[in-house]
Amino acid sequence: MKDTQTLEKEQSTATKTVRISGSEAIIRCLIAEGVDILYGYPGGAIMPVYDELYKFRDQIHHVLTRHEQGATHAAQGYARISGKVGVAMATSGPGATNLITGIADAQIDSTPMVCITGQVASHLLGSDAFQETDIIGISTPVTKWNHQITKASQIPEVIAKAFYIAKSGRPGPVLIDITKDAQFEQFDFSYEKCKGVRSYNPVPKTDIDDVKAAALLINAAKKPLIVWGQGVILSEAEEELKAVIEKTGIPAAWTILGASAVPTAHPLNVGMVGMHGNYAPNVLTNECDLLIAIGMRFDDRVTGNLATYAKQAKVIHFEIDPAEIDKNVKTDVAVLGDAKESLSQLLPLLKANSHEEWHQKFKDLYAIEYEKVIKDDLYPTKEGLTMGEVLKEINIQTKGNAAIVSDVGQHQMIACRYAEFTTTKSNITSGGLGTMGFALPAAIGAKMSAPKRDVVAIIGDGGYQMTIQELGTIFQQRVPVKIVVLNNEFLGMVRQWQQLFFEKRYASTEMTNPDFVAIAKGYYIDAQKVTKREDLKAAVAEMMACEGPYFLEVCVEKEDNVFPMIPTGASVSDIRLE
């Protein structure tokens, strides 16, 4: 039984009934959900909705991207930097299919996103009508939920549900497909936010006995290691995590998507795990006596060979998604629930500690990594520029306050390794799917969502050309993003693998590139190209000082490799430094 207060509150969130079209209802639903910006591309089957967007343009800002894939990545960037639901819109057929890459990316990286697609009129469904495609069928395996609307009256409830499902629990993308006749249809509209779906339990209840069992193991451990992931950021548990590590003195490492939850400079932050992560946390994963995983999913790029991953350690897994428990790594204690909640419950049960001897091992291994890898990456003595020194210069000039949006490949690994973060939600990259072309549009969404923050996109010359047309969006919308292309004239990561594992047979990885500066200038974006070390500092300064968007191309060493590296199938402790 609900109390009167709750009932009153619920009634006040419901809007009054008015008779309007389905397409107007869609816009009103979006406004009611707090959507201020959405990204999309018009076309036949979504035109009634665009007509309403025109009428509501003072309340909701639609950003025309240059390709629907760009709309999804922009919505992702918007979501990742703010924690809010990103929204993308497209027409039926090719418009809808072009969303799929971004949707798959959001699914694997747990990004809250609602995609709305137009569809042919309901009487044409299944007739192979112009621009008809079965987008519900196509998007099913890559969405958290999807639904087709064929009657206007379904719009409010389904859209409310879409936002609720996208954001709650482990977030993810939702696609709503709306037939054109439903967009035109008049109906009695009222809106009420979704408060629950009976078949869906977004946040499993944390069992205090599991928390106690975890605390027992943590308090008894001699060599514990925390590995946190994006779950910490998604549940906004950064302070709780920090409190746990500061009280217990446990060294804490992060997955790519977990980066920035705890500042890079924090003394207990021991770096990144995984294929190109730091030496110490990877090697010591196979030496710790307790592995405490928080909001991460033991991705294969993190674990390397599972048969030799942390076999000596007991494993605790704090996780919101029950399907992740024991999926890849067998746990001794699983603590289900929201990380913010479970870590709050854990904290008072923990004993203060410092683990000094254990920390010394991390420091010793860091010293080795510094000598063999980091020193030459950040302070190179060779003639050619390194990607690492570009990152270092950006760190210095932004004081670590910029959000770094990286694409996929060598530059991404360098960005994640060397970016110095002071603020959470600052590492925006395509982790699980590895979507080249992600960064440029994602940076647009991130900057528009957080206009006061510096947003620097770090992109390779390959990925840049996959969504380069979004320069048009940047120009038209005057989005002051800083675009840094680290140009090595190669698809660098693939080339690195060809060098290491395919005897230098550089099959289709060499790029003959256009004049990137001319292209940026073609879009009236200030641009320059740096080829010498002595020009780097001034160029970065000019970029950061520029009020509008800026394009900086840095020509880096062509055949540098990213180390450390765990070759596929190798153990985390067999990480290579050269």
Cβ contact 567:280 at 8 Å: no
As a whole number of angstroms, the distance between CA 208 and CA 223 comes to: 24
**Closer of 166 and 444 to other proteins (Cβ):** 166
User: Measured from the CB of residue 65, what is the shortest distance to other proteins in angstroms?
Assistant: 28
Question: In the bound complex, what is the minimum distance in angstroms from residue 99's beta carbon to other proteins?
Answer: 17
Instruction: Tell whether residue 199 is a contact of other proteins (CB under 8 A).
Output: yes
Report, in Å, the least distance between residue 199 CB and other proteins. 4
493 noted as active-site residue: yes
CB of 201 to other proteins, least distance (A): 9
User: By CB under 8 A, is residue 195 in contact with other proteins?
Assistant: no
Q: Are strands 61-64 and 113-119 parallel, antiparallel or unpaired?
A: unpaired
CB 410 within 8 A of CB 387: yes
Query: Which lies closer to other proteins via its Cβ, residue 97 or residue 429?
Result: 97
Is residue 68 among the annotated active site residues? yes
Say whether residue 5 binds other proteins (CB under 8 A): no
Q: Is 348 in the site for other proteins (CB under 8 A)?
A: no
Q: Which helix (H) or strand (E) holds 239?
A: helix 238-248
Stretch 115-144 residues interacting with other proteins (CB under 8 A): 136-137, 140-141, 144
Which residue, 105 or 324, is less far from other proteins as judged by CB? Answer: 324
Smallest gap, in angstroms, from Cβ of residue 148 to other proteins? 7
The answer to whether the bond into 171 is cis (omega within 30° of 0) is no
| CB of residue 416 to other proteins, shortest distance in Å | 28
**Per DSSP, what are the bridge partners of residue 486?**
460, 554
Q: Does 545 bind other proteins (CB under 8 A)?
A: no
* Strand 186-189 to 550-555 pairing: unpaired
Q: Which residues contact 330 (CB under 8 A, 6 or more apart)?
A: 315
Residue 266, sorted as left (phi over 0), alpha (psi -120 to 50) or beta, turns out to be: beta
Which is nearer to other proteins, 323 or 545 (by Cβ)? 323
The stretch near other proteins (CB under 8 A) out of 58-66, 192-200, 424-432, 517-525 is: 192-200
Closer to other proteins at the Cβ: 318 or 551?
318
Q: Max CA-CA distance within the chain? A: 73
Q: Which two tokens stand for residue 102?
A: 């971004």
Distance CA(299)–CA(286), nearest Å, equals 16
Tokens of residue 7, six digits: 């009932």
Catalytic residue among 24, 52, 68, 324: 68
Spot the catalytic one: 144, 180, 223, 447.
180
Q: Tell me the C-alpha distance between 356 and 249, whole Å.
A: 8
146 sits near other proteins (criterion: CB under 8 A): yes
Tokens of 62: 């639609």
Q: Is the Cβ of residue 307 or residue 545 nearer to other proteins in the bound state?
A: 307
Residues 564, 282: Cα–Cα separation, whole Å? 10
| Rounded Cα distance, 416 and 170, in Å | 23
Catalytic residue selected from 130, 184, 501, 502: 130
29, 87, 108, 165: which one binds other proteins (CB under 8 A) = 165
Q: How many residues bind other proteins (CB under 8 A)?
A: 23
State which of residues 72, 91, 117, 148 lies at the interface with other proteins (CB under 8 A): 148
How far apart are the C-alpha atoms of 271 and 259, rounded to whole Å?
A: 9
Which positions from 308 to 347 touch other proteins by CB under 8 A, shown as an x/- string?
A: -------------xxxxxxx--------------------
526: left (phi over 0), alpha (psi -120 to 50) or beta: beta
CA dist list (Å): 452 to 395, 403, 419, 446: 17, 11, 19, 11
Compute the least distance from the CB of residue 285 to other proteins, in Å: 22
**Known catalytic membership, residue 131:** yes
Closest contact distance (angstroms) between CB of 110 and other proteins is 12
Query: Which CB sits closer to other proteins, 34 or 322?
Result: 322
Q: Do the Cβ atoms of 241 and 235 come closer than 8 Å?
A: no
Q: Are strands 269-272 and 86-90 parallel, antiparallel or unpaired?
A: unpaired
Residues annotated as catalytic (active site), given as ranges: 68, 130-131, 180, 493
What residues make contact with other proteins under the rule CB under 8 A?
A: 1, 136-137, 140-141, 144-148, 165, 196-200, 321-327
